[in-house]
Structure 1
Amino acid sequence: MTAPDQPPRMPEHAAEMHLPHFVVKQKLTMMINRYEVSESDESGNPTRLMALAEQKRMAFKEQVTFYSDAGRSRPVFGFKARKKLDLNAGYDITDESGAQIGFFKKDFGASLLRSTFHVEGAGFTGTGQERNQVVGLMRRFTDLDFMPIHFDFVDAGGAPLFSVERKMSLGDRYRVAVPDQRVDFRVAAAVAVALDALMAR
């Protein structure tokens, strides 16, 4: 006797808000960096606006807040430096109520040769590095702004958590793939924007 079809079981630590892929688009103005985060199809085409953030271009990058719409009527998540004058202390990622849902920090020592970040979320810890070390070195020592910025994040066992790939467009555009269902969309989105903001794109 054939058992009836059962819905797929969710992982034990599946995130409250998981999206398998989304895009982050940066829009530049004279004074403000604007980031739009949209759900996407498998080809990377935006399908639904999820959140947006605005940041003064010359502002100290200690906090970024994401809102549900352009009117900034409701904050939905954000990240904030633990110590204003010591970015090496890392950033807490919080939900709309201010509760912590994740954490990330740049590994400044490892980043001398290859940009490296550490990330934590519910049920996982991981590390992300630039995919191509040669390109990373060239980007550091030249003024060429078209260099790709591709990061791969893996968990402690080496399994992929999510990846961030820069696509050429008017203003930076990043395609984010999140195969691990433990990774909350808000955590991956915060890290994707931070990669751009903290590297002064």
Structure 2
Amino acid sequence: MTASTYHVRKISLGLKRKYRLSADDGAGQPGALVGYAEKQLKAADEIIIYRDEERTEQIAVVRESSAGFVASLTGYEVIDNAGECLGTFGVLPRKSVERTTWQFDQPTVGRLTGTERSLATARVRRLIGLFGDAPGQVINAVIKYHFDFVDERGGVGFSIEKPKVLDDWYRITVHDQSIDDILLLALAITMEARQRG
């Protein structure tokens, strides 16, 4: 099965974080724009994904979920512009003691579990995070990371990685083409926004 690649790049900080969503250019770099997202810093997490940077069409919204396994501050659902739920994802606190672990559910695909590949990197991030939010954000900026999301049989559905230090650029490699690309991009943005990896 041929893998496809997407890129998420944070392009602003401050009270409104903005993200450019791109397809791969064939050489491992961001290419054609496939979407644009904004997240305002407020009590309730909400990310809006648009078709383009002019915000001509909203295609999905990511919001905190109150349903199922994600009925906590760690859970999110993605709703498309027709009001349908594309899927849910969230951090699994008990499994995240050593390495951050995410659960990803898409109704038409099933459940995938994403775990940080490097235990050493995970331990460093946790150690620095003990000193507060600011040091934690700094360490997330200067350390690379890599999450692999696997199905119940152990097959890798997709991976999310931060290839460079001091660059808010995230690369998504998709091996299972039945996974919804908007749901994947929503997950990558949320992971960055939570500074979870």
TM-score (norm 1): 0.82
Shift in Å, 1:61:
5.0
Larger Rg: 1
Q: How is 1:17-166 mapped onto 2 (pairs within 5 angstroms)?
A: 20-56=4-40, 58-60=41-43, 62-83=45-66, 86-88=72-74, 90-121=75-106, 122-142=108-128, 143=135, 144=139, 145-166=141-162
8 Å CA contact retained: 2:19, 2:37: yes
TM-score (norm 2): 0.83
8 Å CA contact retained: 2:100, 2:196: no
Identity %: 27
Moved over 3 A (4+): none
Shift in Å, 1:152:
0.5
Over aligned residues, Cα RMSD in angstroms?
2.4
Aligned residues, how many? 183
Give 1 or 2: higher helix fraction. Answer: 2
8 Å CA contact retained: 2:160, 2:170: yes
Q: Any gaps of 5 or more consecutive residues in structure 2?
A: 129-134
Shift in Å, 1:50:
0.9
Q: Distance in 2 between matches of 1:108 and 1:61?
A: 19
1:111-156: CA deviations, max 9, x gaps? Answer: 1211000011122211001110110110122233311121100111
8 Å CA contact retained: 1:26, 1:34: yes
